[in-house]
Structure 1
Amino acid sequence: MTESWQYQVRIRLAPEYAALARLDPSNEKLAPINALLVEHDAHMKCQYDAFADYVAQAERDGIEHYPLYRWTRETIENAAKKAKYLEAFTLYVNGEEVYDKALADALEADLQSLSGDAIIDIRKIDTNPAHNPQPPSYNN
């Protein structure tokens, strides 16, 4: 029996475009990316912002309920990692963080046509734990 994994597409934007995507997402310089996202019923979220949101939510709700709290907080407080994640964006399709391979493949293929000045890296990842590094476990 074959496992059925879900997929996610992530992109890395050049610094200027990453800043626009975070602070002025409707900027004309992002029009080609935004048009493609609309075609795929997709939106992008900066990974740094997603991490910061997770930390803030954990601190509101109680960190004992958030197993990745410590790892995530250490990540966003590390200057080198912060710079990396400020340029990294997760693409959500139909409001979902992970989606079927066919959706991911189509999105990835269309993004390839935009690679260049704005998009400097495109990655498709799957939910198979064997393909993804696991955060360290902490004893609270």
Structure 2
Amino acid sequence: MAETWQFQIRMTVTPELADALRSREKCAQSDVIEEILRERDASLKCQYDAFADYVHEAQCAGPQHYPLYQWTKDTIDNPAKKAKYLKSFTVYVNGQEVYDREPADWLYARLLALACESGTGVESVNRFDTNPANNPQPPARQG
């Protein structure tokens, strides 16, 4: 029986578009993206915000219960990495961060088309799968 992997779409956008998407400010570029996402009950989460949420949750519940706490905290405290992750967004489908191939392929194709057009604010689009052989392992637990 073949393994069935799930998928995730991530995109990197310009700082200006990132600000609009994070603040839910309307602009032509964000409106186009939102229209695409609506067709698949999808939404975006800024990776920096996701990391900050994880750090906050770990600090409230006890960092010893969160194996990636120190790595994540170090990441969001690093100005260069913060700038990188403020521009990076994960696509969620039906509230899920990984999903079946069909919606992933559909979203990937449409968002990638935006990345190929100038002036859209979309710099890159990537598709990841849950196959461990294709993904880096988490960093070793730090202090």
The two structures have a TM-score, normalised by structure 2, of 0.92
**2:90 and 2:142 mapped to 1: Cα distance?**
29
The equivalent of 1:76 in structure 2 is 76
For 1:102 and 1:39, how far apart are their aligned partners in 2? 13
Identify unmatched segments of 5+ residues in structure 1. Answer: none
Contact 2:112–2:124, Cα closer than 8 Å, also in 1 = no
How much does 1:26 deviate?
Answer: 4.1
For 2:25 and 2:18, how far apart are their aligned partners in 1?
12
1:134 has 2:137 as partner: yes
User: What is the match of residue 26 of structure 2?
Assistant: 27
Q: After alignment, is 129-138 or 51-60 more displaced?
A: 129-138
C-alpha distance in 2 between matches for 1:89 and 1:44: 6
- The sequence identity of aligned pairs, in percent, is 51
What TM-score, normalized by structure 1, do the two folds share? 0.93
Q: CA RMSD in A?
A: 1.2
- What residue is the counterpart of 2:15 in the other structure? 15
Q: 1:80 to 1:139 in 2, by over 3 A?
A: closer
- Provide the C-alpha distance between the structure 1 equivalents of 2:91 and 2:58, rounded to a whole number of angstroms: 23
Q: Letter of the aligned partner of 2:22 in structure 1?
A: R
Determine the C-alpha separation between the residues in 2 that align with 1:75 and 1:57: 16
Structure 2, unmatched stretches of 5+, are none
CA distance in 2 between counterparts of 1:85 and 1:72 reads 11
